[in-house]
A and B are shown apart, each in its own frame.
Chain A
Amino acid sequence: MYDFEYHKPTSVADAVKILSADSDARPISGGQTLLPALKHRLNKPTSVVDLSGIAELKGIKRDGNKIVIGAMTRHADVANSPEVKAAIPMLAMLASGIGDPAVRNRGTIGGSVSNNDPAADYPSAVVALNATIVTSGRRIAADDFFQGMFTTALEPGELLVAVEFPIPEKAGYAKMRNPASRYVMAGAFVAKTGGEVRVAINGAAACVFRQKDMEAALSANWSPAAVAAVKQPADDMNSDIHGSAEYRAHLVTVMAKRAVAAAG
């Protein structure tokens, strides 16, 4: 780890002020991604801005037909939240399957969504549920937020403040874990919200993406068999020592099928 300055502001405004003044400053929430990177000296921030002292970033609430989750909310809190379990049980289930207990008790939704790891769980839920990302300055639609591997619409100095999830009629999630890292090798989040069907695929490609053929198939016929018939082209799939692009493409269909089955 290289030396850095440490700040612990108590308001979003103060955090943004520090971050805007210094383009090499980085926010830290759960630290589950940033700390290992710092330890390996892969990152050299001038200062680290700890978001854990900002009360307005924490908590889960139901707001009409939305569930609003503050950026600093830990995975374990989402997994155990009665509001989430009642409104979007699949989201609680997703959170309960991230990493291991230590990771779930530290890692946050804000950190995960801002980081946009292609193998992360949350981005699929954000896209499939058509969530809105609330930042320190604006509101961003899910479709516009995730832009590529580890890349999002967040500007330098802009903080993710909350994620607003519309409550769906149906939602299902299934994933295949990478045997070594236990991150997502291929996953599918399917949802029907206000009549609109969305299928978001994570883990398999460089960035979470919508599988429009599956969306069409499910719009016509919401059933596992409907997605089972849709083949994912292998062209843009990841390929590494854990699996070929062809294998991941195959898994996309398998996981989508299982997600629809789980959604009921």
Chain B
Amino acid sequence: MNAPVVFEGIGASPKRKEDLRFLSGRGNYTDDINRPNQTYAVMLRSPHAHATIRGIDTAAAAAMPGVVAIFTGADMVVGSLPCGWLIHNKDGSPMNEPGHPPLAQGKVRHVGDIVAVVIAETRPQARDAAEAIAVDYDVLPAATSMAAALAPGAPLLHEGAPGNVCYDWHIGDLAVNQAAFAQAKHVVEFELVNNRLIPNAMEPRAAIGDYDRTTDQHTLYTTSQNPHVIRLLMGAFVLQIPEHKLRVVAPDVGGGFGSKIFHYAEEAVVTWAAARVNRPIKWTADRTESFMSDAHGRDHVTKAKLALAEDGKFLGLHVSTTANMGAYLSTFATSVPTYLHATLLAGVYTTPTVYAEVKAVFTNTVPVDAYRGAGRPEATFLLERLVDVAARQTGIDKLELRRRNFIPADAFPYQTPVALQYDSGDYQSTLAQALKTADWDGFEARRAEAAKRGKLRGIGISTYIEACGIAPSAVAGALGARAGLYEVGAIRVHPTGSVSVLTGTHSHGQGHETTLAQLVTDRFGIPLSQVDIVHGDTDKVPFGMGTYGSRSLAVGGSAMVKAMDKIVAKARRIAAHLMEASVDDVEFDRGTFRVAGTDKTKSWGEICLTAYVPHNYPIEEIEPGLDETAFYDPKNFTYPGGCHICEVEIDPDTGICSVINFTAVDDVGRVINPMIVEGQVQGGVAQGIGQALLEACAYDASGQLLSGSFMDYCMPRAGDVGTLSVATHETLCTHNPLGVKGCGEVGAIGSPPAVINAVVDALRDYGVTHVEMPATPAKLWHIINSGRRAAAE
């Protein structure tokens, strides 16, 4: 086989292999799948945030046309939807972990909690019948906000969680921390909110349960980022179905952003009920259901305190956070404000002591869990806002304050006071590159020009780090994870030399079918068209932990490298046999096996064919075939970092804040496909701008979701993100074979504080130190207006 004419390996930007299917409407999503004799499920959801169920009368509904079955919590008595991460309290006791039944057991705890499932021949029939179910609710007072849930005498959500507290956890040495504050020249303190978000993947969640009674085989088709994890959690904990009798398929998935990591009630309900009614059952969420049942993100309230020496060196950081868990513990909810948040609080700085305490609280709202960045955006927001506030309070320039405290490029590996050890980074360089791209020095002139037009212009910066490539299993296990976090790659070389890769990661927009194939192209020297990436089916892929925490390339790609190493090792033995040379003398480079120092060669295709047609073959020593699997457990997290700069203009008459320019310089390690990295960062930045300026999940005091549709929940649009400049600055990850760090979340992690720092800068003449997200026009106008009034008085 000839080497490809166009280089498609590591560093190239071939067009995405998956896009023809996605852009021409030929994707195969869960709702596109139809099984013979299929029925349809509609979930009857609670209209109340908190109520006991006195009774459910399904008689009239059951008699309606097309109804196949109706089940309530009384019928479906199964295991609880599990929580995957055990957190311990300050005193060492385990967290409170109340159960999460798929169908409500006598009590509902948020609007949208599932009370019954109706299964019918058509979806409209199921919906008609659901409306005919009479539920007798005894409505209880609700606790919607964390403050309400923690107030004395607050309504209690779970018997097993007194005071509505899930856990009260901490990290760091408090005595050392207090000593640092005692020596401080300056102490900067403030409180901030990380606003609650609703993920809104373009494809709503869906699930199909299918059961074959002749083989006792269950199949679940679902909108998941990690089908093997769903099989494990649902099979082992909820429904007690052994793995060999349960297949989980996650076909094309239209965006997840974290919200499709978790094991949801509807998956268990359709799988369980399909075996009861002995017919396939399809459920697809409508957008209204998505708003009230997809796990929400963020929702922290934090008090932060920074101690500084006279010269601006950070001496210590103290953080107290309360984190909203919602009504039940979603799969990874407990890890987000703890190990994905507090461990990032050193940031890119040499702060010698960090102490963080986190109280997790139950409220009568949708469960909250990981959402693009998960914990790291919260850490970055509070840190990068705090540094700006500190700069203002101490009078030290905000860039200078950052530079003085950066971990120097020669200090790696760098051990932080909060468990993590960073392997590589170069914060001065990413900062310098971003300042230049954004023309930081020319800003004051632009501000003056804007002022002439009556606009308030501001510039903001964020220098951030995150930890991804989740995760070394032993470390995660020691911290409470109830699963391993390795990844699996199987390389199946076919007789004619083309390759199928079975990966345990899952692509739902990220372009893995291209990026992962480039690894193979680069290594084996075969064209991209000769490589297919297979994912999303537990019957095809040996095992896997899925895609989240920017882990697919760093962990899944590394597993592929290990499997390719095995392939090359075996192929070299075959080549050595054919060329009558010693294995040690056979070199392999992109498609060609060569006896070192000679012109004796064998091509990739010849070796592959020989492996499957072993006529002239060392059959006593090696098996035929070229098919290898590897499990890769990372040695450490990876640490992408970088610098984001945002420039905004505020119209003081309306309060409208427009992003004019956004500059991102990110160190994501080695870049495999620059075009895809740029797209990932663009999307992440758009989400970060959404969080900073637009997106507000709002509940009223009774627990009704006020932002329950796109009429009221504001998603970012193309026009909201301004001119976006994305660049990378590589330092390689030192502990995985590809040197990659991850790019899926950096945009959403680094950007919100850059935007808000810009907003605060724009309002510098109005005496403002902080603006809570989202900085909506109304909020900004009120700030400006009261500033004007204060000036007038």
Contact = CB atoms under 8 A, between A and B. Distances in A.
A124 B694 CA distance: 27
B219 to A, nearest CB: 30
A42 B228 CA distance: 40
A247 B778 contact: yes
Contacts of A180: 694, 707, 710-715
A179 B654 contact: no
A40 B288 contact: yes
B776 interface: yes
B787 to A, nearest CB: 14
A244 B783 CA distance: 13
A241 B124 contact: no
Contact of A176 (B654, B696, B698, B782): B654
Most chain A CB within a 10 A radius of its CB, from B653, B706, B778: B778
Contacts of A246: 782
B706 A181 contact: no
B789 to A, nearest CB: 12
A254 B131 CA distance: 46
Interface residues of A, number: 17
Interface string B554-566: 0000000000000
B314 interface: no
A250 B655 CA distance: 11
A28 interface: no
B781 interface: yes
Interface string A214-245: 00000000000000000000000000011110
Most chain A CB within a 10 A radius of its CB, from B654, B696, B782: B654
A251 B651 CA distance: 12
Contact of A241 (B288, B656, B707, B777): B707
B13 interface: no
A180 B711 CA distance: 6
A1 interface: yes
B785 interface: yes
Contacts of B710: 180-181
A179 B714 CA distance: 6
B702 to A, nearest CB: 15
A208 B698 CA distance: 27
A260 to B, nearest CB: 14
Nearest to B700: A241
B152 to A, nearest CB: 28
Interface string A39-61: 01100000000000000000000
Contact of B712 (A1, A242, A247, A250): A242
A179 B707 CA distance: 13
Given A241-B707, A242-B712, A254-B654, A179 B781 contact: no
B654 A251 contact: yes
Given A179-B694, A241-B707, A247 B714 contact: no
Contacts of B776: 179, 242-243
A241 B782 contact: no
A86 to B, nearest CB: 30
A179 B654 CA distance: 12
A244 B778 contact: yes
Contacts of B698: 241
B633 to A, nearest CB: 44
Most chain B CB within a 10 A radius of its CB, from A1, A179, A241, A244: A179
A181 B777 contact: no
A246 B785 CA distance: 11
Contacts of A247: 655, 778, 781-782
A242 B711 contact: no
A181 B711 CA distance: 4
Contacts of B782: 244, 246-247
A103 B530 CA distance: 44
A242 B654 contact: no
B712 A241 contact: yes
Interface in B112-155: 124, 127, 131
A250 B713 CA distance: 23
A261 to B, nearest CB: 12
A22 to B, nearest CB: 22
A185 to B, nearest CB: 8
B777 A243 contact: yes
Interface in B625-663: 653-656
A241 to B, nearest CB: 5
A161 B785 CA distance: 45
Interface in B689-726: 694, 696, 698, 706-707, 710-715
Contacts of A251: 654
14 contacts: A1-B124, A179-B777, A180-B707, A180-B713, A180-B715, A181-B710, A181-B711, A181-B712, A241-B706, A242-B776, A244-B778, A246-B782, A247-B782, A254-B654
Given A181-B710, A181-B712, 15 more contacts: A41-B131, A179-B714, A179-B776, A180-B707, A180-B710, A180-B713, A180-B715, A241-B696, A241-B712, A242-B712, A243-B776, A244-B778, A244-B782, A246-B782, A247-B782
Interface of A: 1, 40-41, 176, 179-181, 183, 241-244, 246-247, 250-251, 254
Closest 8 CB pairs of A and B: A180-B714, A243-B778, A181-B711, A179-B714, A254-B653, A247-B778, A241-B698, A180-B712
